C-alpha cells in the first residue's frame, strides 16, 4: 500500500526519449563544427528521422534490456549513475561505429574527441534528467507523501532487535512497519509495545491482502527456523519483497543478495525463478513479438472478425477473468469460438466434440487463431509469450484441493503457449488440467530464455500443421 500520488515510471521513459533525441541533435551540431561542414547539420528528413525516432528507439531498447524501467521508488541514485554510465558507454560505442567511423579523416584525434563528446552529451543529459526525477521521488518518501506497508514476522527478542535496527532506515526508504504476526501459541509478544499484532502465521496471506503489504521482514527466533522454509514458499506466491536478518544467512546460502549499503541492515531474499539479466530480455521479447504479431497478422485478425460477425450471433471478443502472476486476477481476451450463451448454466470446460463450439470456432481452435487477442494481454504485461496457461479461480480452487503443487504455477506469468500446451493441449476436465500442469511445473523448474525459444518453435510447428487441440 502507498499513500499519496506515485510518480509513474513512464516519466523515466519520456525523459530518456527526450534526452536521447536532444543528445543526438547536439552531437550533430558538434560534429558539424569539428568537421567545418555545414552539410553535417540535421537539415534533411533522414537526419530528423534518426534524431526523433531511430536513435532514441535504440537507446530505449538498450535501457529496457538493462532492466531500467522498474518502480522509481526502489531505485538508488548511485546505482542509476552506474547503470546509466555503462549503458551510455555501450550505446555510444555502437553509434560511433555506425555513424562516425566513416567520417572524413582529419586525424585520429577526431575519433577520440567525437566519441567523448557523444558519450559526455548522452550520459550527462540522461543522468541529470533522471537525477532530478529521483530527487523528487526521494522527497516524497522522506516526507511520507508516499510509503509502503511493511509486515514483520516474529515477536520475541530477535524481532525487537531487528525493529530497532531497521525502523529508521526503512522509514527513510519509504517503508513503514504497520504490525507483526507471530507463530501460533507464542506467548511472548514484547514487540507489541512498538507495533500492533495483526494475527498469526496461519493468516499470513489474508493479512498481506487485507493490509496491502509491500514488504515482509522475517525476524524469527532460532527455535522457529523450522517454519522458515514454509513461510518463504508461501511468500514467494505473493507480490511482496522479502527481507531477512543477516544472522541467518548460513541457512539460505546462495539464495540471497545484498542491496543498498546505506539502507537497513537486511538482505533481500530473491524468489525469482529466472536469472535477473534474463527477465528484462524476456519482457522485451514479449513486447516485440506481440507488437509484431498484431501488425503482421492484422489481415488474419480482420478476416477472423468478419467471419465471426457473419457466422454466429454474439460478441467478437470473449473476455474472462483469469488468475495470473502471484494470484492476481486479470481480464483475458479471446476470439469467441462458442455460442454466446455457452456457460449459461455455470463454468464448463470444452471438449473436442463440444456442441457449443461454432463451425468457425473449430477452425480457429485448430490453428490457435482464437488465442491471438491475447497478444494484447502480453503488451499490457498480464501475460508472457511462454508460461503456464491461466485458469479461472473456479477451477484453480478445485485443482489445488487434489493437487496442491498447482499453486507453484502462479510464481510466473501465464503464457500464450506453454510446455503443457505443446505436450498436452487444451484440458477438458480437472484431471486433464492436473496432467497438463505437471509439464508446466517442469517448465518453471527449468525456466530460461533458451527453453522459451524451444517451446515457441514447437508451438509454431503445431500451428502450421493444424494440430491444435
Dist. CA 219–CA 222, nearest whole Å: 10
At 192-225, the pLDDT tens digits run 888 999 988 889 999 999 999 999 998 887 777 6
Question: Which of 91, 109, 89 lies closest to 99, judged by CA?
Answer: 91
| pLDDT tens-digit map of 106-145 | 677 888 888 999 999 999 999 999 999 999 999 998 888 8
pLDDT tens by residue, 40-56? 555 677 888 888 999 99
Separation of alpha carbons 383 and 332, rounded Å: 9
Q: How far is 80 from 455, CA to CA, in rounded Å?
A: 35
Task: Note whether 153 and 219 are within 8 A (CB).
Answer: yes
Which pLDDT does position 255 carry in this prediction?
Answer: 46
Q: pLDDT tens for residues 399-409?
A: 999 998 898 89
- What confidence tier does 270 reach under pLDDT thresholds 50, 70, 90? low
Q: Is pLDDT above 50 for 23?
A: yes
3-class SS shares of the chain: helix, strand, coil, % to 5: 60, 10, 30
Mean pLDDT over residues 276-303, rounded?
89
Whole-angstrom Cα distance, residue 337 to residue 216?
Answer: 44
Determine contact, residues 26/121, Cβ cutoff 8 Å: yes
Amino acid at each position: 500500500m502507498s499513500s499519496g500520488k506515485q510518480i509513474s515510471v513512464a516519466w523515466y521513459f519520456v525523459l530518456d526519449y527526450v534526452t536521447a533525441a536532444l543528445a543526438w541533435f547536439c552531437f550533430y551540431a558538434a560534429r558539424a563544427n569539428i568537421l567545418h561542414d555545414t552539410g553535417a547539420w540535421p537539415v534533411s528528413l533522414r537526419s530528423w528521422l534518426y534524431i526523433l525516432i531511430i536513435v532514441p528507439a535504440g537507446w530505449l531498447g538498450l535501457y529496457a534490456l538493462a532492466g531500467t524501467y522498474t518502480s522509481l521508488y526502489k531505485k538508488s541514485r548511485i546505482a542509476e549513475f552506474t547503470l546509466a554510465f555503462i549503458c551510455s558507454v555501450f550505446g555510444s560505442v555502437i553509434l560511433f561505429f555506425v555513424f562516425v567511423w566513416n567520417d572524413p579523416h582529419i586525424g585520429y584525434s577526431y575519433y577520440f574527441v567525437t566519441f567523448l563528446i557523444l558519450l559526455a552529451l548522452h550520459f550527462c543529459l540522461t543522468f541529470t534528467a533522471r537525477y532530478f526525477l529521483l530527487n523528487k521521488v526521494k522527497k516524497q518518501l522522506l516526507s511520507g507523501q508516499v510509503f509502503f506497508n511493511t509486515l514483520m514476522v516474529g515477536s520475541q527478542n530477535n524481532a525487537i532487535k531487528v525493529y530497532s535496527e531497521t525502523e529508521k532506515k526503512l522509514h527513510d526508504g519509504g517503508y513503514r512497519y504497520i504490525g507483526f504476526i507471530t507463530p501460533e501459541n507464542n506467548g511472548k509478544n514484547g514487540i507489541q509495545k512498538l507495533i500492533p499484532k495483526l494475527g498469526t502465521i496461519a493468516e499470513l496471506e489474508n493479512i498481506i491482502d487485507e493490509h496491502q503489504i509491500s514488504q515482509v521482514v522475517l525476524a524469527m527466533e532460532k527455535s522457529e527456523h523450522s517454519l522458515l522454509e514454509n513461510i518463504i514458499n508461501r511468500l514467494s506466491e505473493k507480490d511482496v519483497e522479502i527481507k531477512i536478518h543477516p544472522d541467518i544467512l548460513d541457512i539460505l546460502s546462495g539464495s540471497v543478495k545484498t542491496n543498498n549499503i546505506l539502507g537497513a541492515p537486511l538482505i533481500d531474499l530473491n524468489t525469482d525463478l529466472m536469472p535477473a539479466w534474463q527477465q528484462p530480455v524476456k519482457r522485451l521479447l514479449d513486447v516485440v513479438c506481440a507488437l509484431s504479431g498484431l501488425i503482421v497478422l492484422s489481415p488474419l485478425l480482420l478476416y477472423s472478425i468478419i467471419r465471426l460477425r457473419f457466422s454466429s450471433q454474439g460478441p467478437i471478443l470473449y473476455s474472462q477473468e483469469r488468475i495470473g502472476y502471484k494470484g492476481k486476477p486479470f481480464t483475458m481476451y479471446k476470439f469467441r469460438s462458442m455460442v454466446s450463451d455457452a456457460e449459461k448454466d455455470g463454468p464448463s470446460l470444452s471438449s473436442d466434440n463440444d456442441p457449443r463450439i461454432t463451425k468457425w470456432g473449430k477452425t480457429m481452435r485448430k490453428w490457435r487463431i482464437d488465442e491471438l487477442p491475447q497478444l494484447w494481454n502480453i503488451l499490457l504485461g498480464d501475460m508472457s509469450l511462454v508460461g503456464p496457461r491461466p485458469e479461472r479461480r473456479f477451477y484453480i480452487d478445485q485443482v489445488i484441493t487434489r493437487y496442491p503443487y498447482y499453486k507453484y504455477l502462479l510464481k510466473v506469468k501465464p503464457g500464450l503457449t506453454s510446455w503443457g500446451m505443446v505436450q498436452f493441449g487444451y484440458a477438458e476436465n480437472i484431471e486433464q488440467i492436473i496432467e497438463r500442469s505437471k509439464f508446466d511445473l517442469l517448465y518453471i523448474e527449468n525456466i530460461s530464455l533458451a527453453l522459451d525459444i524451444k517451446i515457441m518453435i514447437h508451438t509454431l510447428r503445431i500451428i502450421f500443421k493444424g494440430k491444435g487441440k
